[in-house]
Amino acid sequence: MSYIPPDSLQGRNLIAQFVLSLRKSGFVLPYREYQYIDQWLKLGHEDEVLLVLDEVLPPLFKKAENHRHPPSLRFVHREVCQKMRGLKQRAQSRKEWENEVSET
């Protein structure tokens, strides 16, 4: 839980708080986790990252409920990157399609 109002969080801090809320433990993420978040933000907007993480993280954390430490984001890094690239490609394809339709 963050002491910062959710409305004032942006970018990597918003995503970090989202991850912490799903983990249900800790107040800060390890440094390496922020590096993953930064890489994801290079692939898309924070809202897109949150959508992908909302799909990917709950099953990961559910499996690790009885473990002493929550799993690292490194276990989902590749999957998140693939899904972010897929979102970007679909958005680009849709934009191209909209351009074609508007030209006719």
pLDDT tens-place string over residues 14-67: 999 999 988 877 788 899 999 999 999 999 999 999 999 999 999 988 887 777
What angle is formed at CA 67 by the lines to CA 61 and CA 72, rounded to 5 degrees? Answer: 50
CA-based torsion, 60, 61, 66, 69: positive or negative: positive
The pLDDT of residue 6 is 65
Task: Note whether residue 68 is domain-resident.
Answer: yes
Would you say residue 1 lies in a domain?
Answer: no
With respect to residue 27, please indicate whether it lies within any of the assigned structural domains: yes
60 assigned to some structural domain? yes
CA dihedral of residues 66, 72, 77, 78 (deg, nearest 10) = -60
57 domain-assigned = yes
Enter the pTM of the model: 0.76
> Are residues 64 and 71 in contact, defined by beta-carbon separation less than 8 angstroms?
yes
* Gap between the Cα atoms of 87 and 92, Å rounded: 9
- What is the residue range of 74's domain? 6-103
1 has pLDDT over 60:
no
Say how many domains are in the chain. 1
